[in-house]
């Protein structure tokens, strides 16, 4: 068994920062962690800066990367933003989606992300006709993650209606399998890989009829797979659910067996006290996406109350207005400060936990997100000598990473013991900005 040793100048070993940490890696896993190693051992790979567990981006729509800046012209609402999104979705093919996702996932690796949860609902050709391979789009995403060097949980998404009792509109036809049973049959044909796991998602209570929610939940339960759902991002969803079912979306999900410890509710912005009790009591993770939630003027969700009620927290970049999990972690605390006008809701360690161990667990990778023996050898190193991070003592490395650093400060990213980003350069995709520009330009004809 070949062992590679990485020597971290400083490493966050939850909850503290240690200096001089040797991490032995074999077969993609950490075999030993040794502290107080004052210099790199012979043959070791040096990681200068602060080494963290790999970051988990628990909520992504890869094709939304093509929307960056395009949706910032003028004003509008979530719903007008959605119309622009539909235009991009309508232009994608399996080949063009692969190219865009490969570049987007490479951008994630450059920002220290080692695993992504891809909330995937773009299944069929325009008009809803299945491809010859019904999972061509999902398989393109899995292949894209492999080429970008990161792990993926493909959260294959049931998206069956435009609203309560409404058939899919012309933009949504390519999202829909018609019924939850047909969705389940197609999703069951997806194949996991060393870097890829398969999960499920309910797009929203708007998009899956109540009498079909259990089909999706049971599919995930039978496979012990993660199950994600967009929840109460907009008050209009709550109002429509109350009109259709006489209850909140959270209550509807609970009544149909969707909530539970393998379930993640994304956004959870507009909740009642009873909703918070239901989510916390079920142990469902809450995935907060602060940069998207503020970009779309969604509001600030009750993350602190949800965590106190029993819900772990994870983080996602969602629409990719920016791709920076350190910014998502920082925004979680700072948005709560603005809402409450008090400081210190989470420690830096707690915010890093949301970005690492708890995020990975929500995606079905419970063996990742920690620097310890037996864990997957996925970690990232943040510079402590940039214009943003220089000055604080190393013992405050977690605070520096969360409250000062950005994705631009990521120096190294290692996945399964392989150096994917070295000294700020992606080793598998040599020109990430060019790949992004070309793949996005191709969608505009």
Active-site annotation, residues: 267, 318
Write out the two tokens for 395: 């013992």
Burial of 112 (0-12, 13-18, 19+ CB in 10 A): buried
3-state helix, strand, coil in the chain (%, to 5): 40, 25, 35
CA 146 to chain centre: 16
Instruction: Quickly list DSSP for 37-59.
Output: --SPPTTPEEEEEEEEEPEEEEE
User: CA angle 66-81-258, nearest 5°?
Assistant: 95
User: CA angle 72-388-113, nearest 5°?
Assistant: 65
Cβ atoms of 379 and 150 within 8 Å: the answer is no
Instruction: Quickly list DSSP for 373-406.
Output: TTSB--EEEE-SSSTTT-SS-GGGHHHHHHHT--
At 207, is the secondary structure helix, strand, or coil? coil
At 369, is the secondary structure helix, strand, or coil? coil
Write out the two tokens for 240: 């429509």
């Amino acid at each position: 068994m070949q062992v590679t040793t990485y020597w971290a100048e400083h490493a966050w070993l939850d909850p503290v920062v240690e200096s001089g940490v040797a991490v032995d890696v074999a077969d993609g896993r950490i075999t030993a962690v040794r502290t107080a190693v004052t210099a790199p051992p012979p043959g070791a790979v040096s990681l200068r800066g602060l080494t963290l567990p790999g970051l988990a981006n628990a909520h992504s729509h890869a094709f939304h990367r093509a929307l960056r800046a395009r949706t910032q012209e003028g004003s509008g609402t979530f719903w007008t933003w959605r119309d622009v999104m539909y235009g991009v979705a309508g232009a994608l093919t399996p080949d063009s989606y692969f190219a865009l996702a490969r570049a987007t996932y490479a951008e994630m690796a450059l920002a220290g992300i080692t695993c992504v949860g891809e909330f995937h609902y773009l299944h069929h050709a325009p008009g809803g006709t299945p491809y010859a391979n019904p999972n061509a789009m999902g398989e393109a995403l899995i292949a894209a993650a492999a080429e970008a060097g990161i792990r993926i949980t493909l959260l294959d998404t049931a998206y069956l209606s435009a609203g309560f009792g409404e058939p899919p509109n012309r933009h949504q036809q390519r999202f829909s399998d018609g019924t939850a049973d047909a969705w389940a049959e197609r999703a069951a044909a997806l194949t996991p890989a060393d870097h890829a796991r398969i999960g499920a998602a309910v797009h929203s209570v708007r998009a899956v009829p109540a009498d079909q929610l259990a089909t999706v939940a049971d599919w995930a339960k039978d496979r012990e797979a993660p199950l994600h759902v967009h929840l109460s991002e907009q008050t209009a969803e709550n109002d429509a659910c109350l009109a259709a079912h006489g209850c909140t979306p959270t209550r509807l999900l609970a009544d149909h067996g969707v909530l539970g410890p393998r379930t993640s509710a994304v956004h959870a912005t507009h909740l009642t006290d009873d909703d918070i009790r239901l989510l916390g009591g079920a142990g469902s993770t809450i995935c907060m996406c602060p940069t998207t939630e503020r970009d779309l003027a969604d509001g600030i969700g009750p993350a602190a109350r949800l965590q106190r009620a029993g819900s772990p927290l994870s983080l996602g970049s969602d629409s990719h207005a920016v791709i920076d999990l350190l910014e998502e972690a920082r925004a979680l605390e700072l948005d709560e400060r603005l809402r409450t006008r008090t400081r210190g809701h989470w420690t830096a360690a707690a915010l890093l936990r949301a970005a690492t161990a708890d995020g990975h667990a929500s995606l079905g990778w419970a063996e990742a997100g920690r620097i310890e023996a037996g864990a997957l050898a996925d970690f990232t190193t943040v510079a402590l000598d940039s214009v943003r991070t220089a000055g604080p003592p190393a013992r405050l490395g977690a605070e520096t990473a969360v409250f000062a650093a950005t994705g631009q400060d990521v120096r190294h990213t290692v996945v399964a013991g392989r150096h994917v980003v070295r000294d700020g350069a992606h080793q598998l995709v040599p020109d990430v900005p060019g790949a992004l520009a070309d793949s996005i330009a191709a969608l505009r004809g």
